[in-house]
């Protein structure tokens, strides 16, 4: 055989790629699903399992067994691979189904309360049992934005400064500061509210400023810990290069490290806001609730979305409950927007 013929044969032979998963046919996918469904129905009929949850548990267990048996027709590794794939998929479904159920419930029950005036009117002239076409949550929406803005002005700078002290300065108290920040992460929100109530509200009055201080206490550890992890991702070579050029630690931190980690720090701030946006317990003890639109942050109660929801649920009438579900839908949408911004900023930090 000539060299040219050998070369042509070698070019026609394509090497196998065992690391690439072979696509399963529709029959291979449908068979274990069908068998597991039949077994699940039998289990539900024979045992005490009932309802969607009972069928789901029976189906997951049945599908694990069927996947293992189906995989053993090939080899043990294939069987284990199928079982692990099933467990991972079941874990995802177990987390996703309750989350989706919450979303569907909130938006379904709150949809009838939402109209254009819902975002432009307050509840100053609307009673609890008035028609859903009256009143709104503009006062609560503006109040939440004011409280979160004030909380951010306190928590974000102090959180980033704390992260800089722990990561960059590494002073002799950095270990103590880290422990304190980690401990603050576990502080119940009602304790933060009681603390501000004892210091501010008991001496003055309910106010938006008091609510912002309570939320800042809860927000600070989230911002500090996330910012610390972000600053650790900044390459050490950047710091070393700056020091080699004669830059001071202060200049290196503020001109090199922080600008490099800017996107990650924005993400930390957004996560901190999302952490406290739905807190109700501290606001009951600090900002309380007002049915009127107001921009005054001291001397009087200030409405917020969590308190709007709490107040309407406490009233108990059908229309008030529907308004509460509508407020919950708006609050969830606001938190989703914060997480979207955090994800976008996080992508920028990876680039």
**Is residue 2 a part of any domain in this protein?**
no
**Is residue 133 a part of any domain in this protein?**
no
Q: Are residues 91 and 174 in the same domain?
A: no
| 206 CA to centre of own chain | 29
Q: Are residues 107 and 143 in the same domain?
A: no
Q: Are residues 150 and 299 in the same domain?
A: yes
Closest CA relative to residue 218, chosen from 272, 177, 164, 162: 272
Instruction: Decide which of 78, 112, 146 is a domain's last residue.
Output: 112
Residue 28 is predicted with a pLDDT of 66
Q: Do the beta carbons of residue 288 and residue 200 sit within 8 Å?
A: no
**Is residue 95 a part of any domain in this protein?**
yes
Q: Are residues 90 and 158 in the same domain?
A: no
Q: Are residues 36 and 154 in the same domain?
A: no
b/e sequence 309-329, b meaning 16+ C-beta within 10 Å: bbbbeeeeeebbbbbbbbbbb
Distance CA 167, CA 169 (A): 6
Residue 17 is predicted with a pLDDT of 55
**Is residue 320 a part of any domain in this protein?**
yes
Q: Are residues 187 and 56 in the same domain?
A: no
Q: Are residues 72 and 194 in the same domain?
A: no
Distance CA 66, CA 71 (A): 8
DSSP 128-144: TTS-TTS--SHHHHHHH
pTM over 0.85: no
**Is residue 243 a part of any domain in this protein?**
yes
DSSP letter for 204, please: S
Distance CA 228, CA 269 (A): 12
Q: Are residues 147 and 242 in the same domain?
A: yes
**Is residue 252 a part of any domain in this protein?**
yes
Number of domains in the chain: 2
Distance CA 268, CA 233 (A): 13
Which residues make Cβ contacts (< 8 Å) with residue 252, sequence separation at least 6? 239, 242, 243
Instruction: Decide which of 63, 95, 112 is a domain's last residue.
Output: 112
The total number of residues written for the chain in this structure: 351
Q: Are residues 72 and 150 in the same domain?
A: no
DSSP letter for 253, please: I
**Is residue 228 a part of any domain in this protein?**
yes
Q: Do the beta carbons of residue 223 and residue 267 sit within 8 Å?
A: no
Q: Are residues 234 and 171 in the same domain?
A: yes
Instruction: Write the CATH number for 292.
Output: 1.10.3720.10
Rounded average pLDDT per 10-residue block, the chain, 351 residues: 55 54 64 83 80 82 82 76 82 86 93 92 88 91 96 95 92 89 91 96 95 96 94 91 89 91 90 92 95 92 95 90 94 89 68 53
Q: Do the beta carbons of residue 155 and residue 216 sit within 8 Å?
A: yes
What domain range includes position 52? 23-112
**Is residue 66 a part of any domain in this protein?**
yes
Which residue's entry shows tokens 């690439």? 20
Q: Are residues 38 and 74 in the same domain?
A: yes
Q: Are residues 100 and 27 in the same domain?
A: yes
């Amino acid at each position: 055989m000539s060299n040219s013929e050998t070369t042509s044969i070698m070019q026609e032979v394509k090497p196998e790629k065992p690391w690439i998963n072979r696509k399963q046919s529709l029959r291979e996918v449908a068979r274990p699903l069908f068998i597991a469904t039949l077994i699940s129905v039998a289990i539900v009929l024979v045992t005490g399992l009932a309802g969607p949850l009972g069928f789901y548990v029976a189906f997951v267990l049945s599908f694990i067994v069927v996947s293992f048996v189906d995989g053993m027709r090939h080899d043990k590794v294939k069987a284990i691979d199928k079982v692990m794939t099933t467990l991972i998929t079941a874990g995802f479904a177990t987390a996703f189904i309750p989350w989706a159920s919450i979303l569907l419930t909130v938006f379904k029950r709150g949809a009838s309360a939402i109209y254009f005036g819902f975002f432009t009117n307050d509840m100053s002239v609307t009673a609890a049992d008035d028609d859903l076409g009256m009143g709104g949550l503009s006062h609560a929406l503006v109040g939440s934005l004011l409280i979160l803005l004030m909380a951010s002005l306190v928590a974000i700078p102090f959180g980033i400064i704390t992260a800089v002290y722990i990561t960059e300065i590494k002073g002799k108290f950095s270990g103590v500061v880290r422990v304190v920040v980690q401990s603050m992460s576990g502080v119940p929100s009602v304790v933060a509210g009681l603390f501000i109530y004892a210091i501010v509200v008991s001496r003055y009055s309910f106010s938006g400023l008091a609510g912002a201080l309570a939320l800042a206490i809860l927000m600070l550890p989230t911002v500090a810990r996330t910012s610390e992890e972000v600053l650790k991702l900044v390459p050490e070579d950047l710091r070393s290069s700056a020091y080699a050029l004669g830059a001071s630690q202060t200049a290196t931190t503020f001109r090199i490290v922080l600008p490099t980690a800017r996107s990650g720090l924005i993400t930390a701030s957004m996560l901190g806001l999302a952490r406290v946006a739905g807190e109700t317990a501290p606001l009951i003890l600090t900002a309380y609730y007002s049915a009127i639109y107001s921009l005054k942050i001291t001397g009087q109660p200030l409405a917020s979305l969590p308190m709007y929801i709490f107040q309407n649920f406490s009233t108990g009438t059908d229309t008030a409950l529907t308004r509460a579900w509508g407020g919950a839908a708006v609050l969830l949408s606001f938190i989703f927007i914060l997480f979207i911004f955090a994800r976008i900023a996080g992508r920028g930090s990876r680039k």
